[in-house]
A and B are shown apart, each in its own frame.
Chain A
Amino acid sequence: MEILYLLLPLSLAIVALIGALLWWAVFSGQYDEVEQAGLSILHDNDRTFI
């Protein structure tokens, strides 16, 4: 059971890593326009193809 001394800090480190990734994703604007990507096909400019 001494393995817990390794596993617990490891799990905390992984949580911290995921937290940091989430932080970066949120504050670099990844979630700012979640609906926009789905609608973008409707706002597409078709004229260049005709």
Chain B
Amino acid sequence: MKPRSHPRLNSHTAASIVVTQLVARRRQELARLGLAWLAMMQVMMFALPGYLRHEAGGQDSLEVLDWAIVLMNWASLTLTIPVILYSAWPVWLGCAHAYSSKRITMDVPVGLSLLAAFIPSVWATLKASGDVYFDSITMFVAFLLTARFVEQRASRAQGCASTQTSLKNPRASSGGGAGSQESLVSFGVSLLAQANRVATVFVMIQLMLVAVLGAVWWVIEPAQAWCVLVSLLVMSCPCALSLAAPVSLAVLHQHLALVEPLPAQVREALLLRTLRVTRQNLYGALAWHVLTMPLAAIGWVTPWLAALSMLLSSVAVVLNACRLSRSRQTVLSLSIKALAQNQPLQT
């Protein structure tokens, strides 16, 4: 957004500063996201000999493969360092914030899983033996940043839409409409708070579970324990949970911006629908986690598969929220009907 294209905002210096900051933040996010995807694709190429190693035939081909793997690991490490330091920077900031405010956030399991995967991989690269998880790390960061990018876009679109509706309909902020506007804001706040509570409890339970399961694996089979621990930590990232509320709220505000003022009964129906879709998303994502956790706990899920599962659940949440968007036609026809019914009463 260039400030020039928004003459209304340009007249207020403070507002234009906010817009400039927003643009800078968005560019930063996009650069982080792009770097993560770029590195992910290349690291996956480098990881191929490692995948092939399990099916290697003769002794001499194995030697050549091992030599190639050592080289590839160094190349992967070179690409993973900027991903960890630059792309995942918001995660480290979030962890520091969580530490200083003594509250568990989504960044804690993410940071833990990144460290748990990165440090042994660096060690294995230096020693030139052992498994590396660079492909899983870059995949995880790329998918996580994608989910967050969608979430940020959704909540920003919601912010823009709500200012637009209040600008378009100044009556709403004074007189009779004030209550409805306030109720909408409080609806959004309560929905977000509810989703946050669910996500926080989820993360805490998940972290405890990961600690217990990791200890059990350590006792039973130490060779596999670390791999299982990394995938469990990746799985405990509640990306889909944190997407649930912002995405459906953004879609709701799109509707409200479309037809304003909405007849009361259509509005109510729309709020109910939003609530329902948000709950569906929240509990659907929870159910997905509950179903896939046992698979990870018995060691069937590799770290990269865990990252893929996280992406799939996030995409499912976004698509489900888009169902709300598809009912735009219904909203229009309903409001026309409601207006037609109200017309004789008013005259």
Which A1-48 residues have a C-beta within 8 angstroms of B? 1, 4-5, 8, 11-12, 15, 18-19, 22-23, 26-27, 29, 31-33, 36
B38 touches A32 (CB 8 A): no
Q: A1-B68, A8-B71, A8-B72 are in contact. List 9 more A-B contacts (CB 8 A).
A: A1-B64, A11-B42, A19-B35, A19-B38, A22-B31, A22-B35, A26-B34, A29-B2, A32-B23
- Complex contacts, A1 vs chain B, CB 8 Å: 64, 67-68
Could you list 27 A-B pairs, sorted by A, with CB under 8 Å?
A1-B67, A1-B68, A4-B71, A8-B71, A8-B75, A11-B45, A12-B78, A15-B39, A15-B42, A15-B79, A19-B34, A19-B35, A19-B38, A22-B31, A22-B34, A22-B35, A22-B38, A23-B31, A26-B27, A26-B30, A27-B27, A27-B31, A29-B2, A31-B27, A32-B1, A32-B23, A36-B5
B2 touches A26 (CB 8 A): no
- Complex contacts, A12 vs chain B, CB 8 Å: 75, 78-79
A33 touches B31 (CB 8 A): no
A11 touches B38 (CB 8 A): no
Q: Does B276 contact A (CB under 8 A)?
A: no
Which B28-42 residues have a C-beta within 8 angstroms of A? 30-31, 34-35, 38-39, 42
With both chains docked as a complex, state the minimum distance between the C-beta of A15 and any C-beta of chain B, in angstroms: 5
- Complex contacts, B67 vs chain A, CB 8 Å: 1
Q: Is the interface of A mostly helix, strand, loop or mixed?
A: helix
Nearest A residue to B34, CB-CB: A22
Question: Chain B interface (Cβ within 8 Å of chain A)?
Answer: 1-2, 5, 23, 26-27, 30-31, 34-35, 38-39, 42, 45, 64, 67-68, 71-72, 75, 78-79
- Complex contacts, B35 vs chain A, CB 8 Å: 19, 22
A18 touches B1 (CB 8 A): no
With A11-B42, A22-B35, A26-B34 known as contacts, the answer to whether A32 contacts B75 (CB < 8 A) is no
Question: Chain A interface (Cβ within 8 Å of chain B)?
Answer: 1, 4-5, 8, 11-12, 15, 18-19, 22-23, 26-27, 29, 31-33, 36
| 4 cross-chain pairs, A with B, having the tightest CB-CB distances, nearest first | A22-B34, A26-B31, A8-B75, A26-B30
Nearest A residue to B79, CB-CB: A15
B79 touches A32 (CB 8 A): no
With both chains docked as a complex, state the minimum distance between the C-beta of B74 and any C-beta of chain A, in angstroms: 8
With both chains docked as a complex, state the minimum distance between the C-beta of A6 and any C-beta of chain B, in angstroms: 11
Nearest A residue to B42, CB-CB: A15
B79 touches A33 (CB 8 A): no
B71 touches A18 (CB 8 A): no
With both chains docked as a complex, state the minimum distance between the C-beta of A16 and any C-beta of chain B, in angstroms: 9
- Complex contacts, A29 vs chain B, CB 8 Å: 2, 23, 27
- Complex contacts, A26 vs chain B, CB 8 Å: 27, 30-31, 34
- Complex contacts, A8 vs chain B, CB 8 Å: 71-72, 75
With both chains docked as a complex, state the minimum distance between the C-beta of A50 and any C-beta of chain B, in angstroms: 25
B42 touches A32 (CB 8 A): no
With both chains docked as a complex, state the minimum distance between the C-beta of B336 and any C-beta of chain A, in angstroms: 24
Give CA–CA (A27, B71) in the complex, Å. Answer: 33
